[in-house]
Structure 1
């Protein structure tokens, strides 16, 4: 992706935190009919230098057969974080020169690697249990896979296929007004506060402070 230096985020812990907080990744593959994008919920393991992504898809989804047919095919997974419009009306520069235009602030992580397919019951059982536990953990009464009948779970498991991606490279882009003068950043953050977007306001303030 287009990556101006002032928007580049390279800290591995920050990139991993975004993946964990926004786990629905867009898996992009290049099939026989061209690029295909599939949204899948991912788990992140830290067993390799950049991490490993795990997911599963419906057996009826052709993406896993495309991966199986071409194991050297590079794949891309895109994780989208907070994003929001920026109105030029927020900028102090608007009053000073009028030379401003609208833009968009956003946070994004892109992971690249090669994918493997897993059809074994043990791998799939671990996958669905880990995924369920990761999202049920904060609930007062967490639902568990074992709450469903064993034969039903087994039948459902036969209908999915696992996908594992060892991350070869990670790119992060935090475009949150770092390129604007300090007063513009202050007003953008205040604008997000008024728009009830504390997540975006916090990002503008944090990354603006780092830039100085």
Structure 2
């Protein structure tokens, strides 16, 4: 992933807070010899305190032999993405049709060492941590070894702890553009009102000249 200086996170807090609420991504695992890499969609919980990611997958999932052969994996999360039409990006004094369209998006890639979790007690703890994150309002029983309703299901899954070894994060929201182009783009996103336009507009304004993060390149 190419990351220009103006697309880098302002600090670790920026990507950590974003990842805390964008908790569904692609777990990419090196394939076995002669096979392509595997990509597994998954919900996960990121713990910034220890820097680990927690998730679980079904025991028959084909990623397990690949992880055991090579525990180096990548967790990729992309969201808040929109298409930005060319006319919004045209520099002042040039025809609007000469503007170059682009994409806005946020992306975090976590390089990790994968650690399968098979101990039933640890699996139950992992599941309960995920449940507390995704269902904080409660309403479901906790997982406990040998206890209904989920105890008997523990054998059908494997937990996975991802030890983060490197982070690559990118917030591509045009913060290097001139202020007039940024303002035109923000207005365009507000007027269009598409599914992710407001989230992209917030990033665009937060990281732009008004936020003191504009570049010149």
TM value normalised by structure 1: 0.88
> For residue 41 of structure 1, what is the aligned residue in structure 2?
43
> For residue 103 of structure 1, what is the aligned residue in structure 2?
102
The CA deviation at 1:27 is 0.6
Query: Matches of 1:211 and 1:15 in 2, distance apart?
Result: 15
> For residue 80 of structure 1, what is the aligned residue in structure 2?
78
> For residue 188 of structure 1, what is the aligned residue in structure 2?
185
3-state SS in 1 of match to 2:184? helix
Matches within 5 A, 1:30-69: 30-32=30-32, 33-48=35-50, 51-69=51-69
Query: Matches of 1:94 and 1:38 in 2, distance apart?
Result: 45
The CA deviation at 1:36 is 0.8
3-state SS in 2 of match to 1:179? coil
The CA deviation at 1:144 is 2.1
> For residue 141 of structure 2, what is the aligned residue in structure 1?
145
User: RCO greater where, 1 or 2, for CA within 8 Å and sep 6 or more?
Assistant: 1
For structure 2, the 5+ residue unaligned runs are: none
> For residue 3 of structure 1, what is the aligned residue in structure 2?
3
Contact 1:88 1:94 (8 Å CA) reproduced: no
After superposition, the Cα gap between the structure-2 partners of 1:168 and 1:146, relative to the gap in structure 1 and judged at 3 Å, is: closer
Alignment size in residue pairs: 205
For structure 1, the 5+ residue unaligned runs are: none
Query: Matches of 2:82 and 2:65 in 1, distance apart?
Result: 36
3-state SS in 2 of match to 1:163? strand
Q: Deviations over 1:123-152 (max 9, x none)?
A: 110111111111111x4xx32234999334
Matches within 5 A, 1:164-203: 164-196=161-193, 197-203=197-203
- Alignment RMSD, CA only? 2.1
